[in-house]
Amino acid sequence: MTRMLYLSIISRHSIRLASTNLPQAGKVPEPKEVTPQNAQFDQVTHTGQAWDQADYRLARYEYNPKTINPNIAAHLIAEIPPKAVDERVVSCGGGETPALGHPLVFINLDKPGTHACGYCGQRFYNTHVTTEKDLSIHHIEC
């Protein structure tokens, strides 16, 4: 008997929740209505994705706004100046606080320009090979 009473209370509660007014989303155009001239893209994510207003993947943001973190890791790493080294080969183990899973990597600095570690993004350059104008050349070592 108590189980039936419990189930009826739960069902009344769920009916009341289902009948509440949810915010209505705006009219979403059909994909065939969107052309390159009238496409409106949302904010760009950290992976470089931006979807137009008719993309089906925007359904997950129908009731809650899409939030984008402006502190993209690649931009933060690019702010760190490259390290000047006098040797031809440098080892990178993740910097002062080694990251978990970052193996010891040896980077060849024979070519002019900066050479970035493929794991942490730390950049190095050889002072004997690289001049000031060569600092704009970037290499990624994996």
> Domain residue spans in the chain?
26-68, 73-141
Is 107 exposed, middle or buried, given 0-12, 13-18 or 19+ CB atoms closer than 10 A?
Answer: buried
Q: Is pLDDT larger for residue 67 or for residue 3?
A: 67
Q: Is pLDDT larger for residue 82 or for residue 29?
A: 82
**Residue count (the chain):** 142
Mean pLDDT of 3-24: 50
Q: Per-residue confidence at 113, pLDDT binned at 50, 70, 90? A: very high
Q: What is the pTM of this model?
A: 0.56
- The CA distance from 60 to 19, in Å, is 21
What tokens were used for 35? 């052309």
- pLDDT score for 126: 93
Instruction: Give the CA dihedral 94, 95, 98, 103, nearest 10 degrees.
Output: 30
- Is pLDDT at 109 greater than 80 in this prediction? yes
Among residues 7, 59, 5, which one has the least CA distance to residue 28? 59
- pLDDT score for 26: 61
140 in Cβ contact with 111 (< 8 Å): no
- The CA distance from 6 to 58, in Å, is 39
Mean pLDDT of 116-141: 88
Question: Best-predicted range by mean pLDDT among 9-23, 47-61, 67-81, 107-121?
Answer: 107-121
Residue 85 has φ and ψ, to the nearest 5°, of -130, 145
The lowest-confidence range among 55-69, 70-84, 127-141 is 55-69
β-partners of residue 140 are: 116
